[in-house]
């Protein structure tokens, strides 16, 4: 290996270590949206997630909207459970470590596929830009590792599609590989895959002569078709049942306006609007030093105007425009796109389009640096004479750039980023609460006011409900007005809520006023709960306040007198035995969904919605019933899983065969 390769590899390792080393030095990674699992919780996960998740829908059950991501999540958890490896080791390797490796390697793959005679130091700089820019550091710092992994593989997806579009001859195996890579990205995050395919379509249109557009369309259709078949497990139910797994309100245009935090100067400069504190809603002023990045990136247009370079320049402009949301200039165009273009309404947070900017700059900046290096080397050669070899001076400019880059992201180097980059410890109170809840074998829910913390324990029989979602308000005063009423007591009992909990908030994320932790809110919440006569406070949980609700219902209960017993085969299938002396209804205390059905003696009973929004099944006569209650959509997920497995095996075999035949 050349000395320069060793030198720049060492620089890359040092930068990665300085930015991300805290992930591997801290005992636990805690922060943002990254979940925390107690050991007891890990044992409940299975490789193939079910269509119905009792923990969704605010702890009242719902279709799992992240089914595709949960396949990978469950795989890593099951791997930890059965391999004996600690979960902390598995997630640091397969989530955080994989993000770093994929980001660097896939950005290198993109550079190699778009630049000819690319220098090794260009690969290193492209990897540094893509892996450690302010946008992705805010994403991983916020614990959004599904988004991060989809982001990390985006350059590879684009590179594979560029290869099959650009080649004069059609190679079937290349299309199959592109389909596999795209399917993996969809598994991590469908929205990021959508943005990546937007870049692919743009390259297809700009990089293909008009008379060959129809001919080359098959090259895109094959990988997309493979990706669809590999995700048949969740696509099939949507197609046949016309169900919508998207959480309610996520496609609302008002949310799009609210989440349009960045302005064009931020997006154009690859500067995340929340950099560096990553406090939700806190937008920082533009930092003029970041203008260095777009100036350097678009300097490429002064040199050789290769089609690939023009494509990435346009792609960066498109990403900058879309990422700013409704902000000027021409914010009304983005709002129109959000409302009328299929798929665009999934981007309530438009900053995800930063992906296009970081993709482009990771190519444009290395290209510009090479051209500038050649000019500088040529000048030094002319001034100092033939004693100076121009090749030996190429490295001055890239080294200067890396120094400037470290200056731009210095909060990451100095340990000033929050979220997953900070060291946190699980308070002992949460271990005490976990043991208390886990040791109770009966079903119940816990209501957290205003919402749960990442350290709250949950399982398929101990579910978590947030008061701000249950009562539809964040106003604590209104919540307590409801809690003082008898109707609310009956409602909570019907939902099976056994405990009301006020969390201890050591990281200052819940009880916040003016973006700072407010101890008074925490104490006031506890004091108000103590005034409710039908609640009994349980002590011995330290700074976590726990109150017991009397006579909470089970998962299945009867309107009138009778006996009910049940066995949960899995969260989508229950065996229930009922004995009643008169006709009545059996209540299943999870969110109503028409796909819940009960079968008894070859008869099928369709679920009806109760006044509390739960499922009920009418039992028309007295006597004993043996009832099987199932979620009907689950069979489509099983069919989809079979299609996915057959497709996966077939694609792998086809790739091997076609590559041997060079097809």
Using the predicted structure, report yes or no on whether residue 249 has a pLDDT greater than 90.
Answer: no
Domain with CATH 2.60.40 in the chain: 556-632
Q: Name the more confident of 137 and 655.
A: 137
CA distance 632 to 569: 15
* pLDDT tens track for 605-662: 899 999 999 999 999 999 999 999 999 988 888 898 899 999 999 999 988 887 776 6
* pLDDT tens track for 350-360: 999 999 999 99
Which of 57-61, 219-223, 385-389, 638-642 shows the lowest mean pLDDT across its residues?
A: 385-389
Cβ-contact 562, 619 below 8 angstroms: no
pTM, full prediction: 0.93
Using the predicted structure, report yes or no on whether residue 243 has a pLDDT greater than 70.
Answer: no
Structure tokens, 479: 């919540």
Mean pLDDT of 552-571: 95
Cβ-contact 384, 392 below 8 angstroms: no
Mean pLDDT of 226-248: 78
Which range, 218-222, 274-278, 567-571, has the best average confidence (pLDDT)?
Answer: 567-571
Helix axes 120-132, 396-408, angle to 10 degrees: 10
Radius of gyration of the chain (CA): 28
Specify which residues 624 forms β-bridges with.
579
Residue count of the chain, please give it: 663
φ, ψ at 13 (rounded to 5°): -60, -40
Q: In the structure, what pLDDT confidence band is assigned to residue 392 with cuts at 50, 70 and 90?
A: low
* pLDDT tens track for 454-479: 899 999 999 999 999 999 888 888 88
Q: In the structure, what pLDDT confidence band is assigned to residue 406 with cuts at 50, 70 and 90?
A: very high
Q: Name the more confident of 215 and 432.
A: 432
CA distance 490 to 611: 12
Between vectors from CA 473 to CA 471 and to CA 477, what angle results, nearest 5°? 95
Specify which residues 537 forms β-bridges with.
547
Mean pLDDT of 175-204: 95
**Residue 18 Cα to chain centre, angstroms:** 25
pLDDT of amino acid 382? 54
Token pair 């998207």 is found at 246
Asked if the 556-632 domain carries CATH number 2.60.40, the reply is: yes
């Amino acid at each position: 290996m050349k000395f320069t390769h060793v030198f720049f590899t060492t620089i890359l390792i040092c930068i990665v270590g300085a930015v991300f080393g805290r992930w591997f030095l801290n005992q636990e990674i805690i922060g943002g949206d990254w979940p925390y699992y107690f050991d007891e919780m890990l044992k409940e996960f299975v490789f193939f997630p079910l269509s119905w998740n009792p923990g969704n829908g605010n702890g009242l059950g719902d279709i799992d909207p992240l089914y595709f991501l949960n396949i990978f999540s469950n795989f890593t958890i099951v791997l930890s459970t059965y391999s004996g490896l600690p979960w902390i080791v598995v997630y640091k390797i397969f989530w955080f470590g994989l993000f770093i490796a994929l980001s660097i390697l896939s950005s290198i793959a993109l550079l190699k596929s778009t630049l000819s005679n690319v220098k090794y130091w260009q690969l290193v700089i492209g990897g540094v830009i893509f892996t450690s820019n302010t946008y992705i550091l805010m994403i991983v710092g916020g614990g959004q590792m599904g988004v991060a992994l989809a982001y990390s593989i985006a350059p590879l997806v684009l590179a594979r599609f560029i290869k099959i579009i650009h080649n004069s001859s059609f190679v079937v195996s290349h299309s199959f590989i592109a389909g596999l890579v795209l399917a993996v990205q969809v598994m991590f995050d469908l929205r990021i895959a959508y943005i990546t395919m937007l870049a692919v379509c743009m390259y297809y249109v700009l990089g293909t002569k008009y008379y060959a557009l129809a001919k080359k369309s098959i090259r895109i259709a094959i990988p997309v078709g493979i990706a669809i078949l590999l995700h048949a497990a969740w696509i099939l139910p949507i197609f046949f049942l016309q169900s919508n797994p998207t959480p309610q309100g996520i496609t609302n245009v008002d949310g799009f306006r609210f989440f349009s935090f960045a302005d064009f100067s931020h997006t154009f400069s690859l500067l995340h609007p929340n950099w560096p504190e990553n406090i939700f809603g806190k937008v920082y002023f533009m930092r003029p030093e970041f203008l260095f990045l777009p100036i350097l990136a678009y300097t490429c247009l002064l040199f050789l105007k290769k089609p690939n370079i023009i494509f990435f320049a346009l792609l960066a402009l498109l990403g900058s425009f879309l990422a700013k949301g409704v902000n000027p200039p021409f914010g009304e165009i983005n709002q129109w796109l959000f409302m009328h273009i299929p798929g665009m309404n999934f981007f309530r947070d438009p900053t995800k389009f930063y992906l296009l900017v970081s993709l482009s700059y990771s190519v444009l900046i290395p290209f510009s640096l090479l051209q500038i290096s050649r000019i500088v080397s040529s000048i030094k050669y002319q001034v100092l004479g033939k004693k100076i070899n121009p090749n030996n001076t190429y490295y001055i400019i890239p080294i200067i750039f890396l120094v400037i880059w470290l200056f731009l992201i210095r909060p990451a180097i100095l340990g000033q980023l929050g979220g997953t980059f900070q060291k946190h410890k699980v308070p002992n109170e949460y271990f005490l609460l976990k043991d208390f809840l886990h040791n109770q074998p009966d079903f119940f829910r816990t209501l957290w006011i205003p919402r749960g913390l990442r350290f709250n324990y949950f399982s398929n029989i101990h579910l978590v409900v947030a008061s701000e979602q249950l009562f539809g308000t964040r106003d604590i005063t209104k919540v307590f007005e409801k809690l003082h009423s008898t109707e609310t007591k009956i409602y909570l009992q019907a939902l099976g809520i056994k405990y009301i909990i006020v969390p201890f908030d050591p990281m200052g994320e819940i009880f916040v006023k003016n973006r700072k932790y407010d101890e008074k809110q925490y104490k006031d919440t506890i004091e108000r709960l103590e005034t409710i006569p039908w609640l009994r406070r349980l002590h011995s949980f330290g700074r976590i306040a726990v109150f017991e609700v009397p006579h909470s219902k089970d998962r299945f209960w009867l309107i009138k007198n009778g006996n009910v017993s049940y066995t949960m085969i899995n969260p989508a299938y229950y065996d229930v035995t009922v004995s009643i002396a008169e006709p009545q209804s059996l209540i299943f205390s999870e969110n109503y969904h028409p796909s819940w059905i009960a079968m008894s003696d070859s008869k099928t009973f369709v679920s009806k919605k109760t006044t509390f929004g739960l499922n009920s099944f009418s039992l028309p006569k007295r006597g004993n019933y043996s009832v099987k209650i199932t979620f009907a959509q689950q069979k489509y997920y099983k069919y989809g899983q079979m299609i996915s497995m057959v497709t996966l095996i077939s694609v792998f075999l086809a790739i091997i065969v076609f590559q041997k035949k060079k097809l």
